[in-house]
Chain A
Amino acid sequence: MSLLSKLQETLVCLKAGRVTLPYPAQAGPVPETFRGRPIFDAARCIGCAGCASNCPAREILVVDVCQEIRILQYLGRRCTYCGRCADVCPEKAITMSREFETATDRIGDIRQRLELFMSTCQRCGRCFTEPSPLEQLKLKGYRFDDVQNERWIFRSQAYLTSEAAVDDISIDLD
C-alpha cells in the first residue's frame, strides 16, 4: 500500500523533529580525540626532525643555519592533520589541537616556525629512538630542506656532505 508507506514516511519525519545545528553561527564541541591543526611547542622540541621524516604531506622542513641553531618550519598548506607527527614525537611537543576552522587567505597564518638551540651532535643528529623499526629504517639522518624556498629535499643522508643535495643548493660546512 503506497498510501500507508507515505504515512509511515511522514511519521519518520515528524518523530525526528528539527535536528539542524546552528553551525556556523555557533560551533559545537569537538571530541577529546579530535585531530585538528597541529601545534608545535618550541619549549619541548629537541629538534630530532622525526616529524619531518614521517610527514606524509612533507609539510615540515628542517634546516640548520649554523652549528647551534636549527630551524623547523611547519607550512600547513597541504597538511592533512593525519597526526603522524604527533605520533612519532618522542617529547610530545606536538599536539593535535581542536582547531578546524583554519581557512585563510594568508598562508602565513597557519605557518609555524621554531628556532631551536641544538646542543647535540649535529653530524648524527640522533636525539631519539623511533617507536618502530619500520620508522627507524627511514631515518638515516635528518633531512636538510630548503626553508627559504619552502621546498623539501627528500634525499636523506647518514651525515651532511658538502655535495649539493639538489642542483641549486649548496651546503656550507665549516
Chain B
Amino acid sequence: MTARERLNQLKEKFGPAIQRADLPGDSRLFAYVEPATLKAVCQYLFRELDARYVISIGLDDRPFSGKFLVAHNFAFDRDRLLCSMLAHLPADHPEVDSIAPAVPGANWAEREFRELVGIELRGHPYPKRLVLPDGWPDGVHPLRKDVPWNQVPADFDENAEFTFDDPPAGCTVVPFGPFHPTLDEPEHFRLYVEGEMVRGCEYRGFMVHRGIEKLAESVLTYNDIPLMAERICGICGCVHNVTYAQAVETAVALRPPPRAEYIRTIMLEIERLHSHLLWVGLACHIVGFDTLFMQSWRIREPIMWIAEKISGNRKTYALCVIGGVRWDITPEVKVELRHLLDKLEREWREVVAAVSRDKNIQKRTRGVGVADQALIKSLGLIGPVARAAGVDIDCRRDHPYAAYDRVDFAVITDTGGDVWSRVVVRMNEVFESIRIIRQCLEKMPEGPLQASIPDELPPGRLGLSSVEAPRGESHHFVITGENNRPHRWRVRAPTYQNLQAVPMMIKDQQLADMTISLGSIDPCFSCTDRLETIDLKSGATRVWSQAELIRLVRKT
C-alpha cells in the first residue's frame, strides 16, 4: 500500500482529525494530527494496521511555529513506508496523551521527551526518571531552545541518589552493573532474585548520555555532525554517520552520486562483518568458550586493516558528508578486498561448521533469553533479535537505501527466538555481507563522490532514515533548521528498543544466564558504587564507600 493509500485510510477513519499531510515520495508519510486524537491514531496504526513502532520524538518548535511538537514514528515494513504522526502542542502548557498503554514500546521514548523537552504525559504507566542524572533538578528541560547547551543548572545536586523501587516480597536484590566485566558501557540492572531465579529487574541507564543531539542543534553544523554521529557507537559508528547524512538528504531531496551510494554500502557491510565477528567472539567469551573468542577475533582483524586502508582508521571511518562520501575505493583496494573476502569466507565456513554442532555452546544458549513474536511486536524489537524469532524484517530490503536495491541478498531468519538462534542468524549474515560487498565491487560505477549542493539547505523540512545496523534498525529523524544546522535531530539506536525487552527476556531464568541474555542483544554498558579490596597476604578485606572512591578518582 502506498503512502497516499495509507493516508486515505487514516482520513477515512479519523476524518478532520488528520489536519494536513506531507507526502515526499512514496516511502514517507508525515501526517499532522489533532493532539486529542493522536493516541487513537497511533493505536489504530499499531493494533489494527499492524505497523511497527519505531520511536517518539518531542521537540521545542517555539522559534518556528510557537508551539511544541510531538511525533510518533511507525514503519510499514512490507510497504517500504516510514510514517510520522505529528501533533502541535500549545507553548504554555504542552501536554499529550501517552501512547505507551497501547504501544508498550513507546515507554522509554515518551519518558525521554517528558524529561528533555518538558512535554507532560497523561496516563503514562511508569513515568519515572529515565535519562537525566540523579542530581538534575525537576523543571529544567535541556532540549528546550531557551536552555543553553553548556548550562549546568544552579541547583544541580552532586550527592543526590536515585530512588529505586522496592523489590517484590521474597526477592533479594542483586546489583548488576554499572561496571560489569562482560559489558563495555555503564548500565545498572537491579535484579530481583529468588534463589537462583531472576524474577524481575529495574533498569537505570543513560549514564553516558553526552547530549550529542543538543550540541548538534546549537553548536555544530550540518557537515560537523556526521563526524560526531559516528561516535554515538564505537562498533556501528558508520551506521549513524550514514543514517544522519541520509536523513538530511531525504529532508532536502538530495541524492548522492551512485558511486557514493555503492561506497556507503560497502563500508556499512565491512562494518557489519567486523561487528558480527566481534559479537560472536564476545558471546563465546561470555559463556566461557575463549577458543572461539580468539579465533573469531583473529579472522576479524584483516577487516579492520582494510577499513584502515580505505578510510584511514580502523573504526570511525569518517565516511559521509551531506551529499556524498569522502573516501574512494581505489582499484588496488578492490583487489585486496576481494582476496580478503575469499579468505574470510573460507575461514568463517570452517568455524561455522565446527560451532554449529558444538553441544557445549548450545547447552548454554538454547532456550535462554527468549523473545517471542508477541514481545517483538509489542516493544518494536529489531535486528537479529527479531529475525531469530522468525520476524522477517531487515531495513536493507524493507526500506532500501544506498545501493541495497541494486544488490541481491537473503534475509537470514531462524525460529527459536533464543540466544542460540541469534548466534545462528549472525553467523550466517556474515556470508550475506560478503556477497553484498562482492556485488558492489562488481557493479560500482565510476563517477564523482560528492553531489554539488548549489543552494542553502532549506529550513523546516522533515527527514527520516532507517539503516540496518549490525544490531538492528538505526533510525534518525531530522528537521532542518537555520544557521546551517538542524533544528532537531533525534537518534534512535537499535539497542534503545532492544534493551527494553531485557527484563522480559531474563524473567524466570537462572541468574547465571543473565550475562548471555543481555549480551545476545549486543548492547553497551557498566557502574560501581562500592569496591572491595582484598589483601592477598593477610586476607583482610576492606570495603570502599562511594564517597571514598569518588575522592580517589578526583584526587588528580
A interface residues with partner B (beta carbon < 8 Å): 1-2, 4-6, 8-9, 11-13, 16, 19, 30-31, 33-35, 54-56, 58, 80-84, 87, 96, 132-135, 137-138, 154
User: Is A5 a contact of B357 with CB atoms below 8 Å?
Assistant: yes
| A33 touching B354, Cβ below 8 Å | no
Given contacts A35-B318, A81-B313, A135-B223, contact A2 B484 (CB under 8 A): no
A136 to chain B, nearest CB (A): 9
Residue of A30, A56, A81, A138 with highest tally of chain B CB at under 10 A:
A56
Once bound together, how far apart are the Cα atoms of A152 and B546, in whole Å? 36
The chain A residue sitting closest to B333, CB to CB, is A33
Q: State the CA gap A96–B312 with chains docked (Å).
A: 9
- B residues near A, CB below 8 A? 219-225, 227-228, 231, 291-292, 294-295, 298, 301, 305, 308-313, 316, 318, 321-323, 326-327, 347, 350-351, 353-360, 450, 452-457, 484
Say how far B486's CB is from chain A's closest CB, in angstroms: 13
A30, B313: Cα distance in complex, Å: 10
8 closest residue pairs by CB, A with B = A35-B312, A8-B354, A56-B224, A2-B359, A5-B357, A31-B309, A5-B358, A56-B227
Complex contact B313–A134 (CB within 8 A): no
Known: A2-B359, A8-B354, A138-B484. A33 touches B223 (CB 8 A): no
Q: How far is the CA of A8 from the CA of B90 in the complex (A)?
A: 66
Residue in contact with B355 in the complex, picked from A9, A83, A132, CB distance below 8 Å:
A9
**Chain A residue at smallest Cβ distance from B350:** A12
Contacts of A154 in B (CB 8 A): 219
Q: Is A35 a contact of B450 with CB atoms below 8 Å?
A: no
CB of B311 within 8 A of CB of A33, answer yes
A contact residues around B312 at 8 Å (CB): 31, 33-35, 83, 96
Given contacts A34-B312, A133-B454, could you give 7 more A-B pairs where the C-beta distance is less than 8 Å?
A5-B355, A8-B350, A9-B355, A82-B227, A134-B321, A135-B223, A138-B484
Distance A19 CA – B456 CA, assembled complex (angstroms): 52
Known contacts A13-B291, A134-B222, A134-B322, A80 near B353 by CB under 8 Å: no
Interfacial chain A residues near B298, Cβ < 8 Å: 16, 19
In Å, the complex CA distance between A132 and B224 comes to: 14
Q: How far is the CA of A166 from the CA of B305 in the complex (A)?
A: 45
The minimal Cβ–Cβ distance linking A116 to chain B, given in whole angstroms, is 24
CA gap between A131 and B308 in the complex, in Å: 25
A19 to B452, CA, bound (A): 45
Q: Is the CB of A12 within 8 A of B354?
A: yes
- Measured between beta carbons, the chain A residues less than 8 angstroms from B224 are 54-56, 84
